Structure 1
Amino acid sequence: MNSIDSQQGNEKYCFVGFWPRFWASMVDTIVIVLITLPLAHLVYGEAFWGSGRVAPLESDFLISYILPLVVVILFWLYKSATPGKMVIDAKIVDVKTGANLTTKQSLIRYIAYYVSLIPLGIGFLWVAWDPKKQGWHDKVAGTVVIYVHRGT
């Protein structure tokens, strides 16, 4: 079982593998959809559900990209986890110290999601065979996802 020593004592944590992280991301996706769809409906009305483009590019960009970025980063900064990671009892920490993420790390990690996604999602799949269960976005940001409970 993979674990790291935290600078916050000699606590050992276990790395979270691919499948638990996959399911956590599904929970996060549902949460984001539950936020953005009603907001889009509120802003655009019934036309949102019809065919064709009804949203000005700026509004669509704010609701579809900026709002999720802000929500996710705030969860990382204040809870060290998104709702999905909280469901699986996991959190994201600095790989070297075990400390909570900095704002800079959070921004880098979020932007690096796109780097992980672009080549057929291989950066996310990397979690499955990496010794520390890090995706490319984790490696770029210097983060790791661990279970909250102590390992043995």
Structure 2
Amino acid sequence: MENYAGFWLRVVAYIIDAIIVGIVGFVIGMIFGVGAVSTGTDISDPTGGGNAVLQMISIAIGVAYFAGMESSSWQATVGKKALGLVVTDLNGQRISLGRAIGRYFGKILSALILLIGFIMVAFTERKQGLHDMIAGTLVLKGQPGMVATDPNVFN
């Protein structure tokens, strides 16, 4: 299906987002005098450096950025927006903040199982990762609000 965002397109969007979130984490870390704060984008260190406070800050940054942006009127993070992608529910509608938070925590699960949850995007019919399946979401090529009204999206 041409309207589903494929694996490599989503990887590029994620790289853009990881850079943005990494900068935010670094700035917040410097403010608190702890160096860089992991923001949940560093798969090699999902614990935020082992410190419980840093872990909570890392999760808060990740949820605020990813869930906040994907449930906003943009329906996308900056990386997805730059590539013309939107996150929708299975009917092409904007997702709620609760669903976006579930999707965020689903990404952590996707990473913990040797990234298989992300790799699934390359092999599933609707280009869904495990986190998309858990949350009932799709990542589509399109603009916010226009995806659900396009009759060609789900054909």
Matched, 1:48 2:43: no
1:148 equivalent in structure 2: 142
Gaps of 5+ in 1: 4-13, 50-54
Q: Does structure 2 conserve the Cα–Cα contact (< 8 Å) formed by 1:92 and 1:143?
A: yes
Rounded to whole Å, the distance in 2 between the matches of 1:83 and 1:48 is 24
Rounded to whole Å, the distance in 2 between the matches of 1:86 and 1:122 is 25
Q: Does structure 2 conserve the Cα–Cα contact (< 8 Å) formed by 1:77 and 1:100?
A: yes
Identity of aligned residues (%): 25
Match of 1:115 among 88, 103, 109: 109
1:7 equivalent in structure 2: none
Change (3 A) 1:121 1:56: closer
Q: Does structure 2 conserve the Cα–Cα contact (< 8 Å) formed by 1:40 and 1:63?
A: no
Gaps of 5+ in 2: 37-48, 144-149
Change (3 A) 1:92 1:56: closer
Rounded to whole Å, the distance in 2 between the matches of 1:56 and 1:127 is 30
Q: Does structure 2 conserve the Cα–Cα contact (< 8 Å) formed by 1:116 and 1:124?
A: yes
Rounded to whole Å, the distance in 1 between the matches of 2:137 and 2:54 is 30
1:66 equivalent in structure 2: 60
1:9 equivalent in structure 2: none
RMSD: 2.2
Q: How many residues align?
A: 133
Q: From the CA coordinates, give the structure whose radius of gyration is larger.
A: 1
TM-score when normalising by structure 1: 0.79
Between structures 1 and 2, the one with greater strand share: 1
Q: Structure 1 counterpart of 2:105, which letter? A: I
Q: Structure 1 counterpart of 2:58, which letter? A: S
Question: Which 4+ residue blocks in structure 1 deviate beyond 4 angstroms?
Answer: 149-152
